[in-house]
């Protein structure tokens, strides 16, 4: 079942991801189901005890609501906010990505998990398994709808972290001046480059810094700093521009 997904990135670089095998996906799902079940049992016990003291109908309604909503909420929020992983997926070293190799979006996490009932028809994951075995990217119905794939984690350790677009202020933002000359197209290209930087080869990294980052830096009068790699300045520009334009 294990196979490679090859993608041509916007930087004209070939990226390869190893699609997760059925065993890893099933194992991760079992861990997640056990965690969901344990959480449901714990909350149900608390609700039942509270129902003896307060309102048993309210407690029963809460238990029924949790039985329906908890599985969806677990997968949607963990995959959407934890970069495509749940506890089970992290344990098995797999991650959900967009089909173009970029990090999963919250909307995609919502879509792929809302469609879980379709994957389970007419029996436990019958349609989902059928889709995985007949799809060249091993996508279940939810993946096809959301445009996502499940891949193994990269084994190499990157030198640079993914650009932290939504986390506080970048420490180098003080070196980024007036961004009025920077266009939205340049911002999105630079942001995509920062996101993909750890996965690019050193030659491609250097070429993109010269061809993409340097012209934008020159336009915005961003100086080169001694002993500071240009990717950090690029991340600082991405964060500052995104915050000023309300794009974060």
The residue that leads in pLDDT, 60 or 110, is 110
- Percent of the chain exceeding pLDDT 90 equals 38
Alpha carbon distance 213, 231 (integer Å): 8
Q: For strands 3-8 and 14-19, give the pairing.
A: antiparallel
Question: Which residue from 170, 122, 118, 153 is spatially nearest to 139, judged by alpha carbons?
Answer: 118
Examine the pLDDT at 159 and tell me if it is beyond 90: no
Examine the pLDDT at 118 and tell me if it is beyond 70: yes
Contact predicate 150/18, CB 8 Å: no
The residue that leads in pLDDT, 173 or 44, is 173
Q: Which of 8-12, 28-32, 121-125, 129-133 has the lowest mean pLDDT?
A: 8-12
pLDDT-based confidence at 69, cuts 50/70/90?
A: confident
Examine the pLDDT at 144 and tell me if it is beyond 60: yes
Examine the pLDDT at 32 and tell me if it is beyond 90: yes
Residues 6+ apart with CB under 8 A from 94: 20, 24, 25, 28, 85, 150, 151, 152, 153
Alpha carbon distance 148, 207 (integer Å): 29
Give the model's pLDDT for residue 82.
92
Contact predicate 11/148, CB 8 Å: no
């Amino acid at each position: 079942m294990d196979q490679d997904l090859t993608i041509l990135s916007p930087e004209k670089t070939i990226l390869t991801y190893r699609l997760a095998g059925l065993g890893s996906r099933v194992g991760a799902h079992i861990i997640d189901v056990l965690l969901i079940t344990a959480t449901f049992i714990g909350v149900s016990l608390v609700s039942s005890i509270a129902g003896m003291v307060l309102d048993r109908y309210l407690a029963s309604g809460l238990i029924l609501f949790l039985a329906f909503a908890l599985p969806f909420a677990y997968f949607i929020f963990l995959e959407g906010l934890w970069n495509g992983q749940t506890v089970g997926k992290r344990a098995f070293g797999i991650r959900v990505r967009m089909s173009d190799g970029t990090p999963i979006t919250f909307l995609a996490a919502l879509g792929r998990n809302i469609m879980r009932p379709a994957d389970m028809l007419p029996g436990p994951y019958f349609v989902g398994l059928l889709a995985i075995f007949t799809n060249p990217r091993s996508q279940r119905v939810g993946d096809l709808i959301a445009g996502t794939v499940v891949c193994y984690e990269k084994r190499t350790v990157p030198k640079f972290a993914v650009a932290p677009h939504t986390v506080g202020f970048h420490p180098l933002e003080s070196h980024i001046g007036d961004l009025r000359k920077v266009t939205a197209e340049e911002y999105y290209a630079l942001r995509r480059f920062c996101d993909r930087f750890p996965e690019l080869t050193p030659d491609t990294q250097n070429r993109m810094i010269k061809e993409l980052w340097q012209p934008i830096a020159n336009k915005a009068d961003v100086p080169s700093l001694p002993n500071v790699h240009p990717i950090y300045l690029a991340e600082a520009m991405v964060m500052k521009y995104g915050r000023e334009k309300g794009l974060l």
